[in-house]
Structure 1
Amino acid sequence: MARFLDMLAETDLPTLLGTMMTEAAAREGVATNVVHADTTSKSVQGLYEDENDEYDLSITQGYSRDGNRHLNQFQIGLAVNREGVPVLGDIFDGNTSDTTWNTELIGELRQRLAADEPPVYVADSAVMCEDSLDEAAAEGISIISRLPRTYSAVDALIDRAWEDNDWTDLGKFVNDEDDEDAASYQIQTFQHLISGHDLRCVVVHSSTLDGRTKRRIDNNLDSTEEDLEDAVGQLTDRSFACEPDAREAWETWLDDHDDPCFEFDAEIVKTEQKKSRDKPGRPPKEWDPYETVYKIAASVQRDAAAIAHRKKRESCFVVVTSLADDDEWPAEQVLREYKEQQAVERRFPVVKDPKRVGPVFLDRPDRVEALGYVLLMALLVYSLIERRARAALMNADEPMQLSGGPTSYRPTGRRVLERFENMRVVRIDGQRDLPSNVEVPERVLEFLDLDVTIYGVEPEA
């Protein structure tokens, strides 16, 4: 294995992988007019400190998608088409930012895809930086992405959308309209200048709030409510000599603690309280032990309507695109294409799942890099197997039988490969043969446009 990786490391691995992917796309008829790109990290054991200068790949600490920030890592960059077939892949340094990788890939995209026409580049919010947008404009490449909330334009556009309230209802983006958990979408479109580029901004309102955002809002409300109740308690303990002083104190407190998700009620109350004496001994005969003071009786409660509106705003996001042709690329299609970003996200578990790929125990960065490219080659084959099976099943009368009993018209590559786990090859008198007690998945082989000759045996007459 090590010698094989050494041989691979001596080749131009990016060119080798690129050639394989380009040839596969041409032979299989894989469309590359739209590509979805993303990155992930792969953690490794070991230091690799003394050898980083000797090799192209720097295995070092960086932002870990696995949460293993104490481990060194390398990164995997991947671009796929709508069907999830890899069309570009990179193994790169563990501390390279997504922004840098996106910018470099955009600059090389047309050449690496051997594309006559510039493709549409779909990526997450890491591509939304001035360098990437400038590079895309220079290369004539159109971008679809999500505007990160670090941009002030996000709040401005969402506020404008709610102010205009001119939503276009798109419904659910699933085949099964009876799926109660599926989100339905509404959109509004605006033009806005982002990092010097006039972009089409699609404000999207989802009927469902994702779980992480909902938990964040609920936790924030709980924490804020607790802080406000403590602050109200401290305020109500204070006494004031006159009503104007109490009212001024309340207004000052309200300025410091006002929150749109909470309602505040307050009343200035005149009351009597016992005086405290600084001097010891018997008080004077004319001394009045009580004095008139003013207190603030205040309460805080959640504003249900305001909270509902906040959750509505938080369920909005902004998809941006440099595609100017609204007829060829209407706003709905832009959103649908962005939602297909999961096509690339679903591929990363294939190269990271410990059931498929164990820990990386290699002592040199060049071998780690070679292994990374082997994983991308395997992912290409895996994806083509899935694509062939699904394409064949589109016109099939019956679904494919999966291992364990269920059936499907859209099996994953894993479920297809499971049908071959029991296959065995034996040698009889020097000839390869399939045991008689092994059930050959003939129908699955037909879906893949293959036959038993892939096992080195002759098909039965």
Structure 2
Amino acid sequence: MWKTWECISSLAGRTDFIYVADSKLCVSDTMQYISGRGGKFITVLPSTRREEKWFHDYIQGNEVNWIKAQVHGSEDAFEIFESPLLSSEGYRIIWVWSSWKDSTDHDTRQKAMEKSMNAIAELNRKLSGRTRMKTREAVAVKADHAIAEEEEEMFRQAKRGRPGKDTVYTRSVRKRFRVNVNSMRENIAYDERCDGIFPLITNTDLTPEEVLQNYKYQPMLEKRNEQLKSVYSIMPVLLKRIDRIEAFLFIFFAAMLIEALIERSVRLSMKSGKIRSIPVYHEGKNCESPTASRVLSLFSGVQFHRLISNGKIVEVFQPGLNTLQKNLLKLMEIDTERFYLPG
């Protein structure tokens, strides 16, 4: 992570910007490296850190003075609390409660409990009939719950033949196992007190609310990067050097610029020609504001062919354009004749 920070520092020409990242940044050496060079960071404290375990234990029997916080553009409710204890590296820890995470944590725990109950019920069903699990230890491997052991009496004739008044029976006892489920209410109550909270660690001098606002702004930036792959279907490449990133983003910018110019040209031509809509959708449905992707898709099947014999072009078969395609070329101010390729 410190290499990424160094690249950004080189691009920005300074080190005093706030570097916001996920929990992979929360490594002592990395945080101290950034802080030692004048950098600022905000990141998530991993659940494996003892600071989180301490706070989870602390809130079980102590009241926390949560303060409401506002995050621009979010409909979720937030509350914040700055920990009285610093991290082991000496950095501030800001605890955040989120209404969305509170609901998610509750639902996740409930689904896990329901899944476990269904699994135990299925195990009991298997234990009630013929089963390969003949010992208590075998059943214990299948479930970490209380196991009830029952004895079932069985009587069999000592000898073969039709039973009568003098028939002798032998008594045998067969063990049956049943898995009982007991909810651990203390553990559930412990987890419920921790629903919705997560810790941020920072070396900035920002207020707790400003720390949260800076952290929540990060996904907006990541969403734009995600659109490179989702919207524009750009394949992953190895972008290890800054010049590769610059070239890649320039191509991306050029593609967006071309799309914007296509849409602008078509819509301005429609406006000047007083054309309210054109049938670019399936089944000839009209559209008042055609997008570039829709316009380009209408030309996806256009092809031309060359007939070659002995290395010489015998004939060129130009694409056959329909009326809609010709009209779109005019709206884009492209000469139809220039659209055809030379032989």
After TM superposition, the score normalised by the length of structure 1 is: 0.43
> Contact conserved, 1:122 with 1:338, CA < 8 A, in 2?
yes
Which of the residues 56, 65, 81 maps onto 1:187? 81
> Contact conserved, 1:189 with 1:201, CA < 8 A, in 2?
yes
Does 1:209 pair with 2:91?
no
Does 1:112 pair with 2:11?
yes
Q: For 2:201, what is the secondary structure of its paired residue?
A: strand
Looking at structure 2, the residues matched to 421 and 361 of structure 1 have their Cα atoms a distance apart, in angstroms, of 32
Q: Which residue of 1 aligns with 2:22?
A: 124
Q: Which residue of 2 aligns with 1:166?
A: 64
> Contact conserved, 1:423 with 1:438, CA < 8 A, in 2?
no
Shift of 1:204: 2.2
Q: Which residue of 2 aligns with 1:300?
A: 181
Relative to its length, the structure with more strand (as a share) is: 1
Q: For 1:198, what is the secondary structure of its paired residue?
A: coil
Q: Spell out the pairing of 1:22-421 with structure 2 (5 A cutoff).
A: 102-115=1-14, 118-151=16-49, 153-170=51-68, 173=71, 182-194=76-88, 197-209=89-101, 216-231=108-123, 257-258=144-145, 273-275=153-155, 280-281=159-160, 289=170, 299-300=180-181, 302=183, 307=188, 310=191, 313-323=194-204, 325=205, 329-354=206-231, 357=232, 371-375=247-251
Looking at structure 1, the residues matched to 149 and 32 of structure 2 have their Cα atoms a distance apart, in angstroms, of 60
> Contact conserved, 1:158 with 1:316, CA < 8 A, in 2?
no
Shift of 1:353: 4.4
> Contact conserved, 1:236 with 1:298, CA < 8 A, in 2?
no
Which structure 2 residue ranges, 5 or more long, are not aligned?
A: 131-135, 277-343
Q: For 2:95, what is the secondary structure of its paired residue?
A: strand
Q: Per the alignment, do residues 302 and 272 of structure 1 end up closer, same or farther by CA in structure 2, a change over 3 Å counting?
A: closer
The residue type equivalent to 2:250 in the other structure is V
Q: Which residue of 2 aligns with 1:43?
A: none
- CA-to-aligned-CA distance 1:332-371 (integer Å, 9 cap, x gap): 22122211112312321453343xx365699xx9997664
Q: For 1:145, what is the secondary structure of its paired residue?
A: strand
The residue type equivalent to 1:340 in the other structure is Y
Looking at structure 2, the residues matched to 201 and 348 of structure 1 have their Cα atoms a distance apart, in angstroms, of 28
Q: Per the alignment, do residues 361 and 287 of structure 1 end up closer, same or farther by CA in structure 2, a change over 3 Å counting?
A: closer
Shift of 1:151: 4.0
> Contact conserved, 2:78 with 2:96, CA < 8 A, in 1?
no
Looking at structure 1, the residues matched to 36 and 233 of structure 2 have their Cα atoms a distance apart, in angstroms, of 42
Q: For 1:191, what is the secondary structure of its paired residue?
A: coil
**Structure number, greater radius of gyration:** 2
- CA-to-aligned-CA distance 1:62-92 (integer Å, 9 cap, x gap): xxxxxxxxxxxxxxxxxxxxxxxxxxxxxxx
Relative to its length, the structure with more helix (as a share) is: 2
Shift of 1:147: 1.9
Shift of 1:166: 1.2
What percentage of residue pairs aligned between the two structures are identical? 15
Shift of 1:145: 0.6
Q: For 1:223, what is the secondary structure of its paired residue?
A: helix
Shift of 1:119: 1.8
Aligned residues, how many?
A: 261
Looking at structure 2, the residues matched to 213 and 190 of structure 1 have their Cα atoms a distance apart, in angstroms, of 25
Larger RCO (CA within 8 A; separation ≥ 6): 1
**What is the RMSD of the two structures over their aligned residues, measured on CA atoms?**
5.2
Shift of 1:189: 1.5
After TM superposition, the score normalised by the length of structure 2 is: 0.54
- CA-to-aligned-CA distance 1:202-227 (integer Å, 9 cap, x gap): 22222233787666534432332233
Shift of 1:130: 3.7
Q: Which residue of 1 aligns with 2:289?
A: none
> Contact conserved, 2:80 with 2:94, CA < 8 A, in 1?
no
Looking at structure 2, the residues matched to 361 and 312 of structure 1 have their Cα atoms a distance apart, in angstroms, of 42
> Contact conserved, 2:229 with 2:235, CA < 8 A, in 1?
no
> Contact conserved, 1:267 with 1:296, CA < 8 A, in 2?
yes
Q: For 2:101, what is the secondary structure of its paired residue?
A: coil
> Contact conserved, 2:60 with 2:193, CA < 8 A, in 1?
no
Q: For 1:300, what is the secondary structure of its paired residue?
A: coil
Q: For 2:24, what is the secondary structure of its paired residue?
A: helix
